[in-house]
Structure 1
């Protein structure tokens, strides 16, 4: 009989770091793991360390010349030839600069997401979580948006090729999941659903509602681009209605979800104004849909999230607590002011540049109401209806 959930983690994934000033900071993994351990919610037997993905597995998505370029730029002192070609592969930008051991570390990230697929599709576990993954912007021949290898696409391709699975990919990062979308844009066996801030104002500038798939895969790409300053109720209304219809229509064997937590109002890289409430509600919705439509098969990945102190540890911990049916989830539901472990706050507050929240959920009565709330809600409802145009 399958066990509930596996937590895939290797402390070396924290070495996925471009430079000291870069917003992508995997210290958030350390903070999250420590929070779960201080809750006694992450027993050692639930954790499994990944191995690196093989080149053959990466080649399911990435071009061979790109992989070779990544390898050459991973050296302690890359050759002048390798450096001169970095721009061709998107690895010399402010967002995605090459770094030492880049190939080794990012291959391990891809390997973690592959392990999650194998664990669930082999029936060893119902669910698997790999918070180091979810790097959804990388393209076949180009790094982009802090992403070198697209572990989400590599994992989905593995689920298809190894297990013959129809995959529903759900992307809740505030930035459009462009790399995954384009990987499967003409593939009728993969349905991608992405809710994100409209690309009119935010990287990567894609994810319009009229991007719907190509050829026989028309209708299997679904985008919900919401307006800046969207709040919890409108975000969740759009996602729940579209996703519930999409899964009934597509009939997947497996859900792969990406849980970037940068739609939070505190995040410095977006303009959406949601609270921790959505990071409790979205995993619950996906969990319910997995059991109703996929025999429980659910692989969850990390993603964006750039307020590493106040947002990411809480959001990702709530995801794991939901996946494991931890009793704390019900307590948070009953008491939104339920406090975080004092030991965790005491350990990390001295290092945090901001005051850490004391509660699992945000105390919304202290937040200023957003102007234009009604207009934003109406606009998002119109977008939602367009997104569902080809769903019966």
Structure 2
């Protein structure tokens, strides 16, 4: 194994553009790539562009009739069929939608192949993490589910155990659905409670099909959860499950929309806590998966202040050159931000909350605390199914 890290990047992924009024503004990808460059991180890893996912690869997860519908809407957006989730408010059709969505998927699949074959130890595709797309429908700003496709490709290559950890504010429903009945894949999602946020799924009782009981894990966090609670929940569930499952590869999704500035959700997590979970995923990959780690982006709609900083931290951690939280943001990047958005860019790579403090689960829990109730519900639903103490 080379030990090198790869950053998957093709400028054409910024063509994933639902229009000027849509919250998923592709400028967030451009600005992240620019900030990675401004910190010199692209000199600490290999920047690689993979080919778009072909139809045979897309069919590992998606139905042929759905792929055909995406292609038709891509050629003529007026042909979008809302029965496939295309042409909706969340997922408007746009020209070349199939091509750019397949390109993003190809980056995640290519990253998975590189990690499995030993060409890279870690790989990052921050344009990916489109975890809501279903086998036969677009959903939640997601056309092709690159995370599921990457995992499916790993299984095709011979992986017997793949763990997927999703810390986006929204439930990783598409990935859970893709592997609901497959015990080779452990899906863990920490997200805002389905009572208060799209997609309305991700209850603790969702634990996998009868043939794969305990392979789906959901920690449904109360709205308003902040740094200490978020980190407490992560560490109360994820490390013990990974130690038991012993994955050969860890795939993680790092949506930045848990942040307190995100306009589409209701958690109160800081950039510093996001960085702490990114570092924890890196360490867990080394502890339990021989270092094999594929890290993806995801949601995140504070496109200037939050997303570029969060995913630049992710790239730095994967590259073995973590950016210090107190580091100043390079002035040339802030000038680019202003030129492109007429907004002032952030000045430091922290929200001023580093180091983040949190209480470990084994120190005891408060049965009246809503965060602890959520954690306990997840543990009680899944841990006994896996032979673990709740």
1:385 lines up with 2:371 in the alignment: no
Distance 1:375 1:122 in 2: 45
Runs of 4+ residues over 4 Å off in structure 1? 374-377
SS of 1:47's equivalent in the other structure is strand
SS of 1:280's equivalent in the other structure is helix
1:230 and 1:377 in contact (8 A); partners too: no
Write out aligned runs for 1:309-320 (5 A).
309-320=304-315
Question: TM (normalized to structure 1)?
Answer: 0.91
Q: Which of 331, 340, 347 is matched with 2:336 structurally?
A: 347
Q: Which of 191, 196, 200 is matched with 2:195 structurally?
A: 200
Distance 1:376 1:63, change over 3 A: farther
SS of 1:34's equivalent in the other structure is helix
2:4 and 2:119 in contact (8 A); partners too: no
Distance 1:236 1:154, change over 3 A: same
Q: Which of 237, 241, 245 is matched with 2:236 structurally?
A: 241
Distance 1:364 1:301 in 2: 24
5+ residue gaps, structure 2: 355-364
Distance 1:38 1:57 in 2: 34
Distance 2:162 2:290 in 1: 13
1:63 and 1:141 in contact (8 A); partners too: yes
1:119 lines up with 2:127 in the alignment: no
Measure how far apart 1:60 and its partner are. Answer: 1.0
1:362 lines up with 2:351 in the alignment: yes
- 1:107 matched residue in structure 2: 102
Measure how far apart 1:376 and its partner are. Answer: 11
Q: Which of 132, 139, 145 is matched with 1:144 structurally?
A: 139
Distance 1:341 1:376, change over 3 A: farther
Q: How many residues align?
A: 373
2:192 and 2:221 in contact (8 A); partners too: yes
Measure how far apart 1:66 and its partner are. Answer: 0.5
Distance 2:335 2:220 in 1: 39
Distance 1:290 1:71, change over 3 A: same
Q: Which of 243, 248, 255 is matched with 1:253 structurally?
A: 248
1:90 and 1:142 in contact (8 A); partners too: yes
Write out aligned runs for 1:319-338 (5 A).
319-326=314-321, 328-329=322-323, 331-332=324-325, 336=326, 338=327
- 1:90 matched residue in structure 2: 85
SS of 2:7's equivalent in the other structure is strand
Measure how far apart 1:97 and its partner are. Answer: 1.2
Distance 2:133 2:39 in 1: 35
Distance 1:7 1:89 in 2: 32
Distance 1:347 1:68 in 2: 39
- 1:306 matched residue in structure 2: 301
Alpha-carbon RMSD = 1.9
1:221 lines up with 2:216 in the alignment: yes
Distance 2:150 2:17 in 1: 22
Measure how far apart 1:345 and its partner are. Answer: 1.5
1:230 and 1:376 in contact (8 A); partners too: no
Distance 1:240 1:384 in 2: 10
Question: TM (normalized to structure 2)?
Answer: 0.92
- 1:370 matched residue in structure 2: none
Distance 2:45 2:278 in 1: 23
Distance 2:92 2:339 in 1: 30
- 2:358 matched residue in structure 1: none
Distance 2:366 2:241 in 1: 26
- 2:280 matched residue in structure 1: 285
SS of 2:4's equivalent in the other structure is strand
Distance 1:285 1:364, change over 3 A: closer
The Cα offsets for residues 275-315 of structure 1, whole Å up to 9 and x where unpaired, read as: 11122101111111111111000001110000010000100
1:42 lines up with 2:38 in the alignment: no
SS of 1:3's equivalent in the other structure is coil
2:44 and 2:319 in contact (8 A); partners too: no
5+ residue gaps, structure 1: 366-373
Measure how far apart 1:166 and its partner are. Answer: 1.0
Measure how far apart 1:348 and its partner are. Answer: 1.5
